[in-house]
Amino acid sequence: MKKLLLAMALASVTTGAQAQLPVGSVAPDFTLKDINGVTHHLYNYLDSGYAVIIDVSAAWCGPCWSAHQSGVFDNLVSHYGTNGTITPGKVKVIFIEGESTNTTAQLYGTSTGSTHANYSQGDWVTGSNYPIIDTTALNSTYLYGGFPSFTVICRDRLVAMSTAGYGSAMGQESWWLNYINAECPSYAPPTGTDVKAVNYYGSNTFLCSANPTLKFLNYSQNTLTSATVKMYSGASLVGTQTWTGSLPTYGVGSVTMPAFTPTGSQTIDSFTVTATGDINLANNSRSMSGVSIITQTSSSTVPVSQDFESTSAMPAKYVVDDANGFFWADGTGSTTITGTNGQGTKCVVADFYDLGPGTTSEILLGNYDNANVANSSFEWDMAHAQYVTSGTGSADKLELFVSKDCGATWTSLWSKQGATLSTHSAVGSGQFIPASSSDWRHEGVSLNNYKSNNLYIKFKLTSDYGNFGFLDNFKITNTTDIKDIVANNSVAVYPNPAKDAATLSIELLKSSDVSVQIYDMVGRLVVDGGSQTLASGKHNIQLSVANLPAGLYNVKIQTEAGNLTERLTIAK
| The architecture CATH gives domain 485-570 | Sandwich (2.60)
The mean of the pLDDT values for the chain is 91
How much is the average pLDDT of 25-40? 97
pLDDT in tens, 477-500: 886 678 878 988 899 999 999 999
Residue 333 CA from chain centroid, whole number? 20
Residue 444 has pLDDT above 50, yes or no: yes
Let me know: does 446 contact 335? Beta carbons within 8 Å.
no
CATH assignment, 195-294: 2.60.40.10
pLDDT classification of 18: cutoffs 50, 70, 90 = very low
pLDDT at 124: 96
Q: Which long-range contacts (CB under 8 A, 24 or more apart) does 113-119 make?
A: 115/60, 116/4, 116/58, 116/60, 119/59, 119/60
Inform me whether the pLDDT recorded for 280 exceeds 80.
yes
Range 372-378 average pLDDT: 89
- Confidence check: pLDDT of 29 > 80: yes
Q: Given this model, what pLDDT does residue 510 score?
A: 81
Radius of gyration of the chain (CA): 30
Secondary structure letter of residue 90 according to DSSP = S
Q: What is the longest distance spanned by two Cα atoms in the chain?
A: 103
Burial (0-12, 13-18, 19+ Cβ within 10 Å), 228 = middle
pLDDT score for 45: 98
Predicted confidence at residue 7, as pLDDT, reads 39
Burial of 557 (0-12, 13-18, 19+ CB in 10 A): buried
| SS3 per residue for 146-191 | CCCEEEEECCCCEEEEEEECCCHHHHCHHHHHHHHHHHCCCCCCCC
Q: How confident is the model at residue 102 (pLDDT cuts 50, 70, 90)?
A: confident
Same fold, 31-183 and 195-294: no
Band of pLDDT at residue 6, cut at 50, 70 and 90: very low
Which amino acid appears at position 4 of this protein? L
How many C-beta atoms surround the C-beta of residue 293 within 10 A?
19
pLDDT tens string 52-68: 999 999 999 999 999 99
Q: How far apart are CA 421 and CA 384, in angstroms?
A: 7
SS3 label, residue 265:
coil
In the sheet that holds 51-57, the strands lie side by side as 132-134, 91-97, 51-57, 149-153, 159-164
**Once rounded to an integer, what is the mean pLDDT over residues 340-362?**
92
Give the three-state DSSP class for 139: helix
CA distance 282 to 452: 46
- CA 19, 13, 399, 301 torsion-angle sign: positive
Nearest alpha carbon to residue 412 among 511, 495, 325 = 511
How do the domains of the chain map onto residue ranges? 31-183, 195-294, 297-478, 485-570
Average pLDDT over residues 73-85: 97
**Comparison of pLDDT for 451 and 522, the residue scoring more:** 451
Q: In this predicted structure, which of 120-124, 269-273, 443-447 has the lowest mean pLDDT? A: 443-447
What integer is the mean pLDDT of 78-89?
97
CATH T-level assignment (fold) for domain 297-478? Jelly Rolls (2.60.120)
Pick the CATH number of 31-183 from 3.40.50.300, 3.40.50.740, 3.30.2350.10, 3.40.30.10: 3.40.30.10
